[in-house]
Homo-oligomer: A and B are copies of this chain.
Amino acid sequence: MPPALLRLLQRETGASGRPSRAPVAADAVELTDSALPGDVRSRLALWCGVREDREARLAHAGGKSYDDLIRRRTGEASAAPDAVLLPTSADAVRAVLEICSEADVAVVPFGGGTSVVGGVEPLRGTFSAVVALDLSGMDQLLDVDEDSLTATFQPGVLTPRAEQLLSERGLTLGHLPQSYEQASLGGYAATRSAGQASTGHGRIDELVVALRCQTPSGELVLGRGPASAAGPDLRQLIIGSEGVFGVITEVTVRVRRLPAERRYQGYVLPDFAAGQRVLRRLAQEEALPDVARLSDDGETRVTLTMAGGGRAKAAALGTYLRLRRVAGGCLLVLGWEGMPSSVAFRRKAAHRALTTERGVSLGRSAGEAWRRGRFSGPYLRDDLLDHGILVETLETATDWHRLPQLHEAVRDALVDTLRQDGRAPLVGCHISHVYPTGASLYFTVLTGARPGAEIPQWDAAKRAATDAIMATGGTLTHHHAVGSVHAPWLAEEIGDLGVDVLRAVKSRLDPAGILNPGKLLP
């Protein structure tokens, strides 16, 4: 926890600096007995490992949202699954779905467990018992096609292991969400994920070329060839289905060769609008970098505060910016990876656009510093909680035209709802996914946690922000999925009839409705 950040938070938001409540020890958490009937347990055990111990159940009681972290601290484990199943084959997954359909047991597919939208909450729905279907035992690389540059994985493989297996053949997937270290490939596909390099490498829905999915009604095998006009693309119905239609048991992804060159660089722009013009131009000229991350003034201020925590280089940076008269501007990190010729072409395009908008380079060190620290954000959260800080993020996307209005509407909603004793929260935002027609907005909120009412405090802000997103034409979520948290708004995104279409598909594939109840569908 950078001391400068804590001081800023205490000064501006009135945060206390002390935990809003002390964590409950793991062995003090009250857990009801497993409600899984013994005969069902026996039938399941013929196909896969079944754990009903305290440790396994608690480890599958939720995801990684602020609310999840608070619930874990308060020892609230009412939602722990009755058992954790550990299949190692598609056949076992199919058998589990069959047995649970017959026995009316809800099944929550569980990949890396990094959902921040309640996607792995073990909700019972109308069922008497609920099990977590943990796919971590299915983590093999099944096939690599070095001509077509595709790789087929089992769903439970975590990203670092997938990258390790690929790099042994000179390949990379390059899908790098902040949850990278703990997230699984099947989870990415199920939640329609995007990563930090998706601006260049493509979202997971663009990278998955084929998949297998086990449903209570049988297996779906989808994806023949690089593109097809053979009717609707059913892959795109399974990608983002969040385990409510079936369990993805195999995923074939596009991979690429390890980059020959890699270059990250930092810049400062006069304001957020100028940065948007740079990114829009690069997208529409088809000269995008692989990574593009533009912070608004709020996020820039927090970032500079954190960097300014006593390090000489950071202080020099501040001086440099003041000299160039861009203090108070917006930070931009660009990263290029690939063939030297491609990196050179795209860097030139970026520098033309940056010059037009009076951007100032901070050099490679600023870019590399971001790259080195890019997965560390989540680890800071426990520290922040220990200091009584509410920390949470939310994100959306829209077209370029509506982006400024959406940015303002969401920021205002967050500031208004989280204002305490006249003091505003710190709200920062960045653009991290850029398309020719628009971009994402990713908000981070920091303020003093309200002791004993942490969850209602955040939920009110989340509701207000989401209402603002929907009213301003943004999408409900650009890369965090729907889960249980966003489900109440899904009909605003796709209409009541769109929801009915999803329900019709669910009825066909999961007639007993056992799969992930309470997620995705309102």
Q: Interface on A for B, CB 8 Å cutoff?
A: 145, 147-150, 191-194, 203, 205, 209, 215, 217-222, 224-234, 236-242, 254, 256-257, 280, 284-287, 338-339, 341-342, 345, 348-349, 396-401, 433, 435-440, 473-482, 486, 490, 493-498, 500-505, 507-509, 520
Cβ B240 vs Cβ A233 within 8 A = yes
Known contacts A148-B437, A150-B399; can you find 15 more A-B pairs with CB under 8 A? A150-B437, A217-B500, A220-B501, A224-B476, A225-B398, A226-B435, A228-B476, A229-B475, A230-B240, A230-B481, A234-B501, A237-B237, A287-B341, A500-B508, A501-B505
Distance of A222 Cα from B191 Cα, bound (Å): 19
The closest CB in chain B to the CB of A497 belongs to B218
Given B232, B236, B254, which contacts A437 in the complex, CB threshold below 8 Å? B254
Chain B residues with CB below 8 A from A149, complex form: 284, 436-437
Distance of A174 Cα from B114 Cα, bound (Å): 41
The closest CB in chain B to the CB of A204 belongs to B229
Given B147, B228, B287, which contacts A400 in the complex, CB threshold below 8 Å? B147
Q: How many copies does the complex hold?
A: 2
Cβ A473 vs Cβ B436 within 8 A = no
Q: How far is the CB of A246 from chain B (nearest CB, A)?
A: 10
Chain B residues with CB below 8 A from A287, complex form: 339, 341-342
Given B219, B242, B473, which contacts A497 in the complex, CB threshold below 8 Å? B219
**A222-B494, A398-B225 are contacts. A482–B342 as well, Cβ < 8 Å?**
no
Given B231, B345, B504, which contacts A341 in the complex, CB threshold below 8 Å? B345
Q: Report 17 cross-chain contacts, Cβ distance below 8 Å, ordered by A residue.
A: A147-B401, A150-B437, A192-B228, A192-B233, A205-B233, A218-B496, A225-B473, A227-B479, A228-B475, A229-B481, A230-B477, A231-B490, A233-B237, A234-B494, A497-B509, A503-B508, A504-B504
Of listed A217, A221, A229, A476, residue having the most chain B CB within 10 A? A229
Distance of A205 Cα from B397 Cα, bound (Å): 19
Distance of A242 Cα from B230 Cα, bound (Å): 10
Q: How far is the CB of A185 from chain B (nearest CB, A)?
A: 16
Cβ B254 vs Cβ A436 within 8 A = yes
Chain B residues with CB below 8 A from A479, complex form: 227, 229
The closest CB in chain B to the CB of A276 belongs to B147
Q: How far is the CB of A115 from chain B (nearest CB, A)?
A: 11
Distance of A474 Cα from B230 Cα, bound (Å): 11
Cβ B225 vs Cβ A478 within 8 A = yes
Q: How far is the CB of A230 from chain B (nearest CB, A)?
A: 4
Distance of A284 Cα from B255 Cα, bound (Å): 10
**A147-B401, A497-B219 are contacts. A237–B236 as well, Cβ < 8 Å?**
yes
